[in-house]
């Protein structure tokens, strides 16, 4: 097995791209990553996407992207794992390069969610949950997270306001990320009065519906330095699953797939959570950030919220999270999100995060969650220095 | 890189499974493959599927299948490449095992197409084509194939009736396949009078809308014999793309992606087309069978139809194709089709194809086509004897 490195990254701004089609978004992020990697051809293109069929009426994105990039002939396919589609596609690219079968692989995640009615987007997103046992009961994705947040508050004695710092930190970091959807500082007061979507989930607990694309170029680590001045090694990669429906999980508040995938990744690298410099967390909802921190070993059960309350998660805190705005402020174009996280981790490890730079960033971890925790992908990245 | 073998196969009958859900179909094929492989746990599950979101309202099939099989925790994701989704998922499984990262991988393809109106299925299938430039003009998938068939007849001087033997051979072979959708012999006369769908494509030129699931278990070839008495090695695996829209291809009648993927696979094995014992062709439409034979090097340009006319494609012919009924008679549950082809090739190489057994079958080739030729996956399989 060969070690694998990231030699180029690219991204589009996240936002409501009414005039840009899914193929154009993908092209923009992909070309940017290829330029960054100083290459103009790859052996394969793996696309992370969840909803192009339902929302845009276009499946077969692998061939579409290869075609639109003028790389016909190249191997290409799409990977889907709900909101974890992007990182699952990186996982496939990682295996392809690790195997020795392919050398240069472009992995691009894309989602265009705004080009439809809000109701349709909500319905399409709900397909990440169990259609026969959850969605058929009327549960939306916000509803599922509301159930989890309510239960968490009940079991561990937290108030809604205790989650505020997840959103406040994400928005503070998003201020300095030109690609973030929101450049808007929020305060404990604005969080407290933000409108309720599905109690206790308020607008400021939830990530936005948006469009965006992000891309990485993978190469064998042994050649990476000849191609890039600043390669970043993928030293841990793991994907794990848990029951699709929340009611099928023994402990709904323990993200079992996060625990398994984080442990596998730590083991692969030979580290403990304490060795991680920063964590790009899947803060699609504030409750998910808390649960992810706990399952990954950064906080005790029921105490993830305390890390936010005590300031541990800020850029200068014990474990900076959502360093470029997270899903909350950078945005959450679902199939692209896992790749945005990895792109941002690479920027941190290259020392190019500007005002958001995490000091002495050595090992960055990303965790991308599909559904309400059914698919969880953890990657650990290291600058090759 | 490790060599990879298939140590177990499973399939459901293809048909209209009104009372069986997508998860049950997947389970049935998967359990059958695990039993055949004498194992009860795998390291990963890769699911090939195109339309579960659009037709069943369920995405996130990787986690769903892992969950429903009682294998939560296991790595799982879905791969989509339109009608080539099944073989693209096998390609991902192949890379995973080849890399050394994973040992036992279940790859299962599933499609449930009948649980909706015919109009919806036609629209959903059209998403394999270019939505902005083909579908927006009113082209369905049958329409696209009709354009190709009409052009082929015009350029090379064939009549509609010259394609009949593709369908007649497929139906003759399907008679002895208990899992085939149709057990119905057809004749030149019945082909000639079959109803027209999109001229010159008639009902007997087209594969049916149907439900089904098929699965394979992959393992490192070096351990395969300790697990299975009859392992089959994947000695060639290649995926290539061509422009998504037919009008973007320089030579619409040359399946460029078939040529590239077949050549890559031949090169990997170190053989020529003449070494192939039988060919599971993607006969979604009779025209596709002809084009696939030509692009893969079995016939000269414009002469694929002649192979059918002259009887080369029958079980005892020069190059048996669609040996268990092909997409035409076994059926074409799109995301499962590529895996049905591989399952059937394994059955041939094990010598268990009964009345359909190809004599001295040594190297079997499968070719799975997504869209009107935009994604084409070729696998070459060899009995490990």
Looking at residues A156-165, what average pLDDT do you find? 98
- Please determine, for residue B155, whether its predicted confidence score (pLDDT) is greater than 90: yes
- Please determine, for residue A308, whether its predicted confidence score (pLDDT) is greater than 80: yes
User: Mind telling me how many Å the CA of A203 is from chain B's nearest CA?
Assistant: 25
> Which residues in chain B touch residue A96, judged by CB atoms under 8 angstroms apart?
95, 99
Mutation site, A115, A244, A248, A376, interface B, largest B CB count within 10 A: A244
Are A78 and B80 in contact (CB < 8 Å)? yes
Q: Please state, rounded to an integer, the average pLDDT across all residues of chain B.
A: 97
pLDDT score at A118: 74
Q: What is the pLDDT of residues B41-54, one digit of tens each?
A: 999 999 999 999 99
Q: Is the separation of the CB atoms in A105 and A46 below 8 Å?
A: yes
Number of helices followed by number of strands (H, E) in chain A: 13, 11
Tokens matching residue A45: 């293109």
By 3-state DSSP, what share of chain B in percent is helix, strand and coil, each rounded to 5? 40, 20, 40
Residue corresponding to tokens 């005002």: A355
User: Mind telling me how many Å the CA of B357 is from chain A's nearest CA?
Assistant: 33
Are A127 and B241 in contact (CB < 8 Å)? no
> Which residues in chain B touch residue A51, judged by CB atoms under 8 angstroms apart?
53, 59
Active-site residue among A17, A83, A171, A235? A83
**Closest Cβ–Cβ partner in A57, A75, A124 for B131:** A57
Separation of alpha carbons B48 and B343, rounded Å: 14
> Which residues in chain B touch residue A245, judged by CB atoms under 8 angstroms apart?
67
Q: What is the DSSP letter of B376?
A: E
* Secondary structure, 3-state, chain A: CCCEEEEEEEECCCECCCCCCHHHHHHHHHHHHHHHHCCCCCCEEEEECCCHHHHHCCCCHHHHHHHHCCCCCCEEEEEEECECHHHHHHHHHHHHHHHCCCCCEEEEEEEECCCCCHHHHHHHHHCCCCCCCCHHHCCCHHHHHHHHHHHHHHHHCCCHHHHHHHHHHHHHHHCCCCCCCCCCCCCHHHHHCCCEEECCEEHHHECCCCEEEEEEEEEEHHHHHHHCCCCEEEEEEEEEECCCCHHHCCCCCCCHHHHHHHHHHHHHHCCCHHHCCEEECCCCEHHHHHHHHHHCCCCCCCCHHHHHHCCCCCCCCCCCECCCCHHHHCCCCHHHHHHHHHHHHHHHHCCCCHHHCCCCCCEEEEEEEECCCCEEEEEEEEECC
B288 with B337, same domain?
yes
At B385, is the pLDDT very low, low, confident or very high (cuts 50, 70, 90)? confident
Mutation site, B64, B220, B256, B262, interface A, largest A CB count within 10 A: B64
Active-site residue among B83, B210, B282, B379? B83
- Please determine, for residue B3, whether its predicted confidence score (pLDDT) is greater than 90: yes
**Closest Cβ–Cβ partner in B1, B57, B101 for A101:** B1
B241 with B309, same domain?
yes
Mutation site, A19, A99, A220, A239, interface B, largest B CB count within 10 A: A99
B66 with B130, same domain?
no
Q: What is the pLDDT of residues A171-205, one digit of tens each?
A: 999 999 999 999 999 999 999 999 999 999 999 99
Separation of alpha carbons B345 and B364, rounded Å: 6
A44 with A160, same domain?
no
Q: Is the separation of the CB atoms in A86 and A335 below 8 Å?
A: yes
- Please determine, for residue B254, whether its predicted confidence score (pLDDT) is greater than 90: yes
- Please determine, for residue A339, whether its predicted confidence score (pLDDT) is greater than 80: yes
Number of Cβ within 10 Å of residue B355's Cβ equals 9
Tokens matching residue A137: 């009961």
Give catalytic status of residue B24 as yes or no.
no
Quick one: what percent of chain B has pLDDT higher than 70?
Answer: 100
Separation of alpha carbons B268 and B169, rounded Å: 30
Q: What is the pLDDT of residues A71-98, one digit of tens each?
A: 989 999 999 999 999 999 999 999 999 9
B200 with B336, same domain?
yes
Are A75 and B244 in contact (CB < 8 Å)? no
> Which residues in chain A touch residue B80, judged by CB atoms under 8 angstroms apart?
59-62, 77-80
Query: Which H helix or E strand runs over B363?
Result: strand B363-370
User: Mind telling me how many Å the CA of B157 is from chain A's nearest CA?
Assistant: 29
- Please determine, for residue B119, whether its predicted confidence score (pLDDT) is greater than 90: no
pLDDT score at A175: 98
Looking at residues B62-88, what average pLDDT do you find? 97
Residue corresponding to tokens 């895996």: B339
- Selection from B6, B234, B39, B61 nearest residue A128 by Cα: B61
User: Mind telling me how many Å the CA of A33 is from chain B's nearest CA?
Assistant: 21
Quick one: what percent of chain A has pLDDT higher than 70?
Answer: 100
Active-site residue among A17, A171, A282, A332? A332
Quick one: what percent of chain A has pLDDT higher than 90?
Answer: 97
pTM of the model: 0.98
B203 with B222, same domain?
no
**Closest Cβ–Cβ partner in B60, B129, B240 for A75:** B240
What does DSSP say about strands A75-80 and A44-48: parallel, antiparallel, or unpaired? Answer: parallel
pLDDT score at A136: 93
CA distances from A359 to A272, A354, B162, B314 (A): 19, 11, 72, 69
Q: What is the pLDDT of residues A97-131, one digit of tens each?
A: 999 999 999 999 999 999 887 778 989 999 999 99
DSSP bridge partners of B351 = none
Looking at residues A267-283, what average pLDDT do you find? 98
Q: Please state, rounded to an integer, the average pLDDT across all residues of chain A.
A: 97
Tokens matching residue B115: 């649980």
B47 with B191, same domain?
no
Are B62 and A241 in contact (CB < 8 Å)? yes
CATH number at residue B341: 3.40.47.10
B354 with B304, same domain?
yes
pLDDT score at A103: 98
DSSP string, A294-305: HHTTSS-TT-HH
| Cα end-to-end distance, chain A, whole Å | 22
**Closest Cβ–Cβ partner in B50, B78, B82 for A81:** B78
At B325, is the pLDDT very low, low, confident or very high (cuts 50, 70, 90)? very high
Query: Which H helix or E strand runs over A147?
Result: helix A141-156
**Closest Cβ–Cβ partner in A23, A53, A77 for B79:** A77
Mutation site, B60, B244, B259, B267, interface A, largest A CB count within 10 A: B60
B166 with B278, same domain?
yes
> Which residues in chain B touch residue A1, judged by CB atoms under 8 angstroms apart?
99-101
Q: What is the DSSP letter of A56?
A: I
Separation of alpha carbons B76 and B94, rounded Å: 14
Tokens matching residue A157: 């004695």
- Please determine, for residue B258, whether its predicted confidence score (pLDDT) is greater than 90: yes
User: Mind telling me how many Å the CA of A254 is from chain B's nearest CA?
Assistant: 13
B52 with B137, same domain?
no
pLDDT score at A51: 95
- Please determine, for residue A207, whether its predicted confidence score (pLDDT) is greater than 80: yes
- Please determine, for residue B289, whether its predicted confidence score (pLDDT) is greater than 90: yes
Beta-carbon pairs below 8 A across chains A and B: 220
Instruction: Catalogue the E-assigned strands of chain A.
Output: 4-11, 44-48, 75-80, 105-112, 196-198, 201-202, 211-220, 232-241, 278-280, 363-370, 375-383
Q: What domain range is B77 assigned to?
A: 4-117+210-232
- Selection from B242, B247, B252 nearest residue B151 by Cα: B252
Give catalytic status of residue A17 as yes or no.
no
Are A80 and B78 in contact (CB < 8 Å)? yes
Are B60 and A257 in contact (CB < 8 Å)? no
**Closest Cβ–Cβ partner in A88, A96, A241 for B73:** A241
Active-site residue among B17, B171, B282, B332? B332
Report the domain count for chain A. Answer: 2
Angle at A113 between CA A76 and CA A176, to 5 degrees: 95
Are B63 and A239 in contact (CB < 8 Å)? no
Q: What is the DSSP letter of A55?
A: I
A74 with A215, same domain?
yes
Q: Is the separation of the CB atoms in B128 and B141 below 8 Å?
A: yes
Taking CA–CA distances from A246, the nearest residue in chain B reads: B67
Are B240 and A74 in contact (CB < 8 Å)? yes
Residue A13, φ and ψ in degrees, nearest 5:
-60, 145
A326 with A377, same domain?
yes
Instruction: Catalogue the E-assigned strands of A193-326.
Output: 196-198, 201-202, 211-220, 232-241, 278-280
What angle separates helix B118-126 from helix B141-156, to the nearest 10 degrees? 60
**Closest Cβ–Cβ partner in A54, A243, A375 for B54:** A54
């Amino acid at each position: 097995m060969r070690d694998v490195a990231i030699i180029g990254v690219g991204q589009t701004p996240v936002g409501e791209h009414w005039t840009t089609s899914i193929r154009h978004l993908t092209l923009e992020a992909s070309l940017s990553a290829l330029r960054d990697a100083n290459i103009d051809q790859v052996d394969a293109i793996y696309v992370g996407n969840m909803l192009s069929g339902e929302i845009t009426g276009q499946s077969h994105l692998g061939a579409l992207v290869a075609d639109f990039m003028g790389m016909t002939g190249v191997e290409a396919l799409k990977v889907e794992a709900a909101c974890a589609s992007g990182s699952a596609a990186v996982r496939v690219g990682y295996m392809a390069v690790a195997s020795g079968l392919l050398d240069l692989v472009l992995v691009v995640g894309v989602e265009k969610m705004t080009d439809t009615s809000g109701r349709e987007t909500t319905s399409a997103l709900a397909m990440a949950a169990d259609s026969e046992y959850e969605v058929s009961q009327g549960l939306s994705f916000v509803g599922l997270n509301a159930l989890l947040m309510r239960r968490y508050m009940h079991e561990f004695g937290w108030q809604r306001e205790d989650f505020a710092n997840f959103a406040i930190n994400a928005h503070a970091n998003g201020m300095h990320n030109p690609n973030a959807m929101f450049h808007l500082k929020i305060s404990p007061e604005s969080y407290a009065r933000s409108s309720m979507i599905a109690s206790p989930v308020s607008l400021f607990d939830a990530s936005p519906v948006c469009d965006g694309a992000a891309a990485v170029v993978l190469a064998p680590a042994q050649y990476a330095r000849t191609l890039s001045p600043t390669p970043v090694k993928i030293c841990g990669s793991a994907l794990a699953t848990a029951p699709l429906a929340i009611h099928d999980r023994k402990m709904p508040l323990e993200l079992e797939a996060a625990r398994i995938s984080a442990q596998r990744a730590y083991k692969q690298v030979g580290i403990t959570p304490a060795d991680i410099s920063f964590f790009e967390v899947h803060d699609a909802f504030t409750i998910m950030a808390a649960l992810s921190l706990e399952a990954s070993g950064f906080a005790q059960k029921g105490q993830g919220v305390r890390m936010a309350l005590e300031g541990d998660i800020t850029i200068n805190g014990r474990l900076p999270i959502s360093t470029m705005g997270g899903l909350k402020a950078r945005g959450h174009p679902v199939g692209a999100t896992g790749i945005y996280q990895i792109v941002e981790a690479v920027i941190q490890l290259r020392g190019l995060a500007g005002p958001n730079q995490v000091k002495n960033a050595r090992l960055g971890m990303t965790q991308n969650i599909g559904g309400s925790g059914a698919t969880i992908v953890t990657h650990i990245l290291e600058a090759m220095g």
